[in-house]
Chains A and B, each alone.
Chain A
Amino acid sequence: MSEHPLLTLKQVSKSFGPVNVIKDVTVSVHAGAVQVLLGENGAGKSTLIKMMAGVYQPDGGQILIDGKPVSLPSTRAAEEHGIATIHQELNLVGTMSVAENVMLGRMPKKFGLVDRKAMRRQARAAMELIGLDVDVDTPVGELGIARQQLVEIAKALSISARILILDEPTAALTRHETQSLFKVVADLRRQGVGMLFISHHLDEIAEIGDSVTVLRDGEFVAEVPASTDEDELVRLMVGRSIEDQFPRRSSAADLPAEILAVEHLSSKGKFEDISFTVRAGEVLGISGLVGAGRTELIRAIAGADRYDSGEVKVRGRRLTKGSVQAAIRAGLGHVPEDRKGQGLVLDASVNENLGYATLSSSARMGLSDFSGQRGRAEAVARTVRIRMHTIDQPVRSLSGGNQQKAVFGRWIIAASTVLLLDEPTRGVDVGAKVEIYELMNAITDAGGAIVMVSSELPEVLGMSDRILVLRDGRLAGEFSAAEATQDKVMTLAARDVDEEH
């Protein structure tokens, strides 16, 4: 090992217009080590790594590679220095195949033409590495968000870089896929690759990290070993400690009324004969592996997709199939799994994005209610604590976790009473997670109900009153909060699937 770190950002700073986002931060990536970046939503983690990836140029400070100052004017320049990056937001071309996406920009050539056979072979090898089992000819747009994330990871891995940057790669993954990713990370570490890893899952830090750099408000706070206990990490990052990570207050007992009923719902190739009910005041968790049909089920209930048979009833009244508007009128609100693709209009302002679900209902004679909307948006942005410069800034310029809160906030403004949450805290920091959980409590306290799909098992276990397990599109079983454990849920979710393969 050389005495120099592979890569150092030395006292860098970065502003966007008037907003100073990174202030005088130093962080290094060492060969054969995993450096963790930790900080709240909007702390500046992604901005920092984008300076390593050649996306942004620092306003001040230096970038050192092997101890020598360099400039990285473009992503290509960064790649030439052996830096590969998995960005927080996916950068895939939906209409192109998995293989084309993995090999994008470096397609193998033969006689000046793309050698499709070699391209498929190399892509397949990259997919095997992370244990993703899909046809490499599938258009990426047809894959769910977790699989897309895995494609993105395969893309970065197939570059064989010296320095690998991973910005929240595990946010959309279940434990299962995270484990395969960590195996690859461990291998790379043995090969001397230097890595920089960002995650809001604190348990992952001790698992694969070596050292942790903590940021707060764009400033360096501390560098501590990855073995530091979680409470201490939280304290460094948030500035205070968080007593209860999952503050679920069950209110189901007092309000036994059934609010949502799903009866024999089937959709060919997605899920089959699903029936369950949710009572007022209840949080129902849905668990399962990626591809088990959780998202498809949620989307069907929300009216986003049509289904083949069965019905959905809200407070005893049947919902028109495939109509989002009917679902919203009945009080349903849907936080989709992919905030960038399905949740937000990125070029529109935070204000507008918060108001879409209530645009028509708050209007008078077809005129949109500007001042009212602004007031509601400002109030809700405070409640869910969206960290922003102004409410008129494009939602694109918010940090990932804050974008997620904006999708959530839309349904608070709509006063939805039944929330269908698909990965509601994906990319949200520990402090803000607790705030979202408190919002869930407030909704159930007021007699609402929540159906939550989450790949984070601790979240499902910690926040649900009841847990359904889906496997291969069918209900595999149900647990009460008291009886559920990680092991029980995982065993049920994975059993047959593992036997089949």
Chain B
Amino acid sequence: MSAATLDAKRRGFDYKKFLANNGALVGLVVLCLALFIATPDFLTGRNLLNIGIQVSTVAVLAFGMTFVIVAGGIDLSVGSVAALSAMVSGWFFVSAGLPGWLALLGGLAAGLLAGVVNGLASAYGKLPSFIATLAMLSVARGLTLVISDGRPIKTSPEVSFLGGNLGPVPMPIVILVIAALVASFLLNRTVVGRSMYAVGGNAEAARLSGLPVKRILVIVFGLAGLFAALAGVLLAGRLDSAQPQAATGYELDAIAAVVIGGASLAGGLGRISGTFVGALVLVVIRNGLNLLNVTSFWQQVVIGVVIALAVGIDVLRRKTRSS
């Protein structure tokens, strides 16, 4: 016998497989075409920039979430952590009188810290990540309210700059592109990134191969916290103030974007490019429904259906993969 690779007999384009693997992208294209036909307001420069700004927050949050979901966990705290980070940064600037750039870093550090706590609790404390981050969701939101006393805090010029424009291009879009590149580099090129797939795919096999599973989980949640902080700062920069109720419920958008983008909630699968498309799908749907004057109540219904569809595609994908 030999290590003969089996010869390819039937080549040819497998539509079913393509659709299953790129369902979100196909969906996005169809969606854009439909909106283009339905309303003249869709394909305008202003609207597209608007979409870009809105997608930046969701996508940056979702990039962090991608790490967690690939590693087989879930992070429900990212929305609260985003708000907390922005608030901490505002507090450093306004109340502690730190220089703006230092206040900005302080805010990011707060997000990182919250994420590391999530990671420690789930890796060493052996709490399911669902529970650990549910607790953090509440703790971080509570701290946000404590710090701000329930009132918005003005942001530093540095933070506002991140929400502003760089020439004709909105800064959030610039940040989004950088965040996407960094996230994708981390996931694809680094040892930690490759380990995330192993840990999410089979934690026991990863451990027995000598991967430091617990340390990896701490890094994963830490990164999710850091990306959440960045999203929180972007959001605050746009409004020129850190709001105590900012980003409420955004964790669900982030999870939805990751799942629509093709990751499996069982862990071990997922790509940053997919998550990016997933975030675009969510935001374009919302944008389109706004343009078509659909009420926000109905929007929630539609988004729910889209998530269900995406998960349905995930099931189909898993079927075609195992057969």
Contacts and interface: CB of A to CB of B under 8 A. Distances in A.
Interface of A: 15-21, 40, 55-56, 217, 238-239, 302, 304, 324-325, 327-328, 334, 336, 341-348, 352, 356-357, 359-360, 363, 366-368, 370, 381-382, 385-390, 394, 396, 410, 431-432
A56 to B, nearest CB: 6
Contact of B323 (A16, A336, A368, A382): A16
B190 A342 contact: no
23 contacts: A15-B10, A18-B8, A325-B212, A327-B210, A344-B202, A345-B268, A348-B201, A348-B268, A359-B198, A359-B211, A360-B191, A367-B189, A368-B189, A368-B190, A368-B194, A385-B1, A387-B1, A387-B6, A388-B3, A388-B5, A389-B6, A394-B321, A410-B209
Nearest to A218: B6
A356 B190 contact: no
Cβ-closest 5 pairs across A and B: A345-B201, A356-B209, A18-B8, A328-B210, A345-B202
Contact of B190 (A56, A357, A367, A387): A367
A341 B204 contact: yes
Contacts of B190: 363, 366-368
Given A342-B205, A344-B205, A345-B205, A367 B6 contact: no
Interface string B185-203: 0000111111101100110
Interface size class on chain B is 35 or more
A346 to B, nearest CB: 7
Given A19-B6, A345-B202, A366-B190, A357 B197 contact: no
A360 B14 CA distance: 37
A410 to B, nearest CB: 7
A387 B1 CA distance: 10
B194 to A, nearest CB: 5
B2 interface: yes
Residue from the set B1, B211, B321 with the largest chain A CB neighbour count within 10 Å: B1
Residue from the set B6, B8, B14, B269 with the largest chain A CB neighbour count within 10 Å: B6
Contact of A431 (B1, B5, B205): B1
A376 to B, nearest CB: 15
Nearest to A402: B3
A237 to B, nearest CB: 9
Contacts of A387: 1, 3-6
Nearest to B186: A366
Contacts of B8: 18-19, 389
B206 interface: yes
Given A356-B209, A390-B5, 15 more contacts: A21-B6, A56-B323, A341-B204, A342-B208, A347-B201, A347-B268, A348-B197, A348-B268, A352-B198, A356-B210, A360-B210, A366-B190, A387-B4, A388-B5, A394-B321
Contacts of A334: 208
Interface string B1-39: 111111111110010010000000000000000000000
Contacts of B4: 217, 387
Contacts of B193: 368
Interface in B141-174: none
A357 B209 contact: yes
Contacts of B192: 366
Contact of B6 (A20, A324, A325): A20
B207 interface: yes
A389 B11 CA distance: 13
B121 to A, nearest CB: 21
B293 interface: no
Nearest to B17: A17
A345 B5 contact: no
B322 interface: yes
Contact of A304 (B2, B208, B268, B269): B208
